[in-house]
Amino acid sequence: MRVFITAATVGEWMPCFTRLDKLYTEKSRRFKVYFHQSGVGMLASTFSLAKLVLEEKPDLLLQAGLAGCFDTSIDLGKIVAVEKDLAGDIGVEENGKWRDLFNMKLERSNYHPYEKAALPNQHIEKFNLLKLKTVKGITVNEITTRKERIKQLVKKFDPITESMEGAALHYVCRSTGTPFMQIRALSNYVGERDKSKWLMREALDNLNTALIKYIHKLYKMA
């Protein structure tokens, strides 16, 4: 089994890369873990993930990263698995409402790779090995900051996470039939610009601990 761990930046998986048992990266012949940097945002990540998938044909593509959280009742630092993602800022703001490509009739809500106007992960039950809380995510190119936009997005999509690469993973993998998982550590509440209120360090530590546990479980299962 060939597993690729991908993140927007190397910093997001570096602690796992340095601590992971060599069994998984070198010694085992039946199981191999590789690391990949996709770049930040939907443009860079769609291109690099599509290239990776077409050239390497992974058995599992595992995206790991930080995310903003819309739900302030969920503790920062928590690790979640994104079961459904979609582009949160491709569309138009009209009369105070957010209209996406489906509302604009520029995309069909059930045309592959879409299903009910979203990009669900049909592999989540099989690959949610750590039994993480499963959530709906949205993906944006512009980090959401305005209160009014947050309200629009919550009303329209009822998301828990916001990232800048999640939908790219779901789009590329659903389009190519590649098994995938998206694991995110909640580093901040969406719209919070005071970085002293972010839990970036703790989120990264938790994310990498989860990655190491995940690979260990996957090895035993594969």
Ligand X SMILES: O=C(O)c1cccc(C(=O)CC[C@H]2O[C@@H](n3cnc4c(=O)[nH]cnc43)[C@H](O)[C@@H]2O)c1
Question: Would you tell me which residues interact with ligand X (CB under 6 A)?
Answer: 8, 40, 65-68, 140, 143, 162-165, 187-188, 190
Q: Which of 30, 26, 31, 36 is nearest to 4 (CA)?
A: 36
In this complex, which beta carbon is closest to ligand X, that of residue 60 or of residue 199?
Answer: 199
Closest CB 214 distance from ligand X, rounded Å: 19
In this complex, which beta carbon is closest to ligand X, that of residue 3 or of residue 67?
Answer: 67
In this complex, which beta carbon is closest to ligand X, that of residue 178 or of residue 187?
Answer: 187
Q: Measured between alpha carbons, how far is residue 110 from residues 4, 114, 123 in Å?
A: 29, 5, 18
Closest CB 33 distance from ligand X, rounded Å: 21
Q: Could you give the CA distance from residue 4 to residue 215 in angstroms, rounded to a whole number?
A: 11
Closest CB 110 distance from ligand X, rounded Å: 27
In this complex, which beta carbon is closest to ligand X, that of residue 143 or of residue 154?
Answer: 143
In this complex, which beta carbon is closest to ligand X, that of residue 65 or of residue 91?
Answer: 65
Give me the amino acid identity at 159: P
Closest CB 174 distance from ligand X, rounded Å: 19
Closest-approach residue to ligand X (CB): 68
Q: Which of 170, 143, 131, 126 is nearest to 40 (CA)?
A: 143
Closest CB 56 distance from ligand X, rounded Å: 22
